[in-house]
Structure 1
Amino acid sequence: MTILPATAPALRIGPLELDVPVVLAPMAGITNTAFRRLCREYGAGLYVSEMITSRALVERTPESMRLITHHESETPRSIQLYGVDPKTVAEAVTMLVAEDRADHIDLNFGCPVPKVTRKGGGAALPWKRDLFRDIVERAVKAAGDIPLTVKMRKGIDSDHLTYLEAAKAAEGAGVASIALHARTAAEFYSGAADWSAIEKLKSTITGTPVLGNGDIWSAADALRMVEETGCDGVVVGRGCLGRPWLFGDLAAAFAGEERKYEPTLGFVADAFKRHAELLVEFFGEEDRACRDIRKHVAWYFKGYAVGGELRASLATVESLQQLDDLLGQLDREQPYPGADAEGQRGRAGTPKNPVLPQGWLDSRELQETHQAELIEAELSTSGG
């Protein structure tokens, strides 16, 4: 793989300087405190919270307050917000700043999930350029000295691209960086990410750091993205599922070092157990933590000879003691399986027609008829 010189520049996001230009992408149900702490134990960078609905935060719902709570070891503290109402988003940002709950705030304009886009949120929102600009401008003002960034997709579909215009508006509003997932909402996570869009964005936005996201499955992919697109840093999502040590590989690669984790099965088992223990601490309930760790089984043990029966037992584990017993049945000396453990992780899905409010694409400006749907999108029960 291409090795960057040891003097590869750090990534500066406002006053924050990251020695490794790597950001952990927010992933619902994944990037909680437990997983962020685990990733930090292997590498460096910026580790962003799960996406939090701005209205739920303003209303101080118990779940939103729990999700914005960082462990004392986490620094800088990064929180991603999702919202569609400029006033509510600004209130949420104001709250985070006034109560000293974040060192970095990111706004999500890239979520392709139907329950979000059908109300005009996520990747659908930048189509309404006046609404997008209003949200970002108010949020930047409310953030003050705390760096505020945005993450977006290319657009709704290939006929309704928004990323260049939205990025220009975001830069004009004073955001500290712009991240692009190089797919449209219609593509969801299917196919190959269009890295040429990242290159085009970087050549268009010259005064604000541009981060690239999409199909980074290894440190080699990250270096190749930087080399091919000229982006200032990378955002890693599904590539680190069941592989938190990827951040160690990334730190080494960006430092110009040719070293890479090739974990034995025992190493993987220990990381899996550590993840479960951190989840117990996060949830405060062993049974809930065990239910949560189950979804990580396939990712951690991808490519290893574990056996169907043992995999099934791990995927229904009910206690840490049971987890210990099951992991004790593994051949800890089993070597790294190479390519079988590499590559895509998580569901790619298939392209789909984005679900949008009726008449959403008829105008680039926000219509009065869509106000009610936007209000629903801000309800704490709307998710995202």
Structure 2
Amino acid sequence: MVEGTEYQLQCDIQNIAPLQNLVVKWYKGNEPLDNVTYSIVSKTPVDVSDTLMISPSRHDDGAQYRCRAQLDLGPEGPQPHPTVTSEPLNITVHYTPEFLPGNDTVEVSAGSDVSLDCSAEGNPPPELRWTNNTAEGNANETTVGRLRTLNISRVTANATYNCTVTNRLGSITKQIHVLVKVPPQQHPTMFSTTPSTPGTMTTLPATAKPKLVTFPLELNPPRVVVRYGDSVSVNCSTSFTDHEGMGWEATFGGTGFEQEVNVVTWTVDNLIDWTIEPTCYITLIDGEQPSEVLPVILYKTPDSISISVLRHSGPMVEGTEYQLQCDIQNIAPLQNLDCEV
């Protein structure tokens, strides 16, 4: 089952009488869900069916559903009431990945080792992919259950790592920033807050005036929505003239490192990578390498869509309930699907 989707459970009860004394009880584990009684009078044995609509969440993964048929024959009847319980129905719920709590920013001393946590859960269990535009230190991944860790040795510069977890229902990404701490003695003295003469104002020296810092990269367009198999093109530009070079990193359409340019273009003629995360990066003269990830939504319209009646064939009978089913084949992304009736 898929989280958030409605399903109908059916309890079939055979050869029971009298029907007007029947109580059908539904349970999830030991939790009562519903009681159903019948007003139709029938003294001879009949077969009946009752249904229960459920919309399972990820917390219902592994849950057991049961139905119970109980004859309430009043105080004169058997005590306790005659009861027959079904075998449990075990359900498996598939759901999109979700990150477990963790730090998005990690501080480390220059030359030290650091471990980045990108733990997530999902069903089916998600696959993880790390991306980073800098070859900073030596990195290796470790996985223990739901815990996913990237261990990096000898960190010397600030860096941003992108962690993407994916299963067949969806994909999510988060950024983890590694900040290298500068020793206190290396921080420049900006200005003194002590006035030289009582009652006078202290003026900041020209060299200590605040400097406006802007992010060096701009994507145009800033995000894209692409039909499966179509082409796509995005420009990454910078207003910084003092840099060593820039480029795109991607599984398809990467440009490599280009020097003496202020614009690089990511282009793919036939986009079919569901998990692609193109990243534009720039190498500044101080060794910093800011980057910007392009959000990409790749979509596919269904191969076919059909409607059918469940567990019924032939003409319908007035006043009888029927369940219609709409089958949609090969569509993505599922989280953007809207079914209208």
TM-score in terms of structure 2 length: 0.23
Determine which structure has the larger helix proportion and give its number: 1
Determine which structure has the larger strand proportion and give its number: 2
Larger Rg: 2
TM-score in terms of structure 1 length: 0.21
Higher relative contact order (CA 8 A, sep 6+): 1
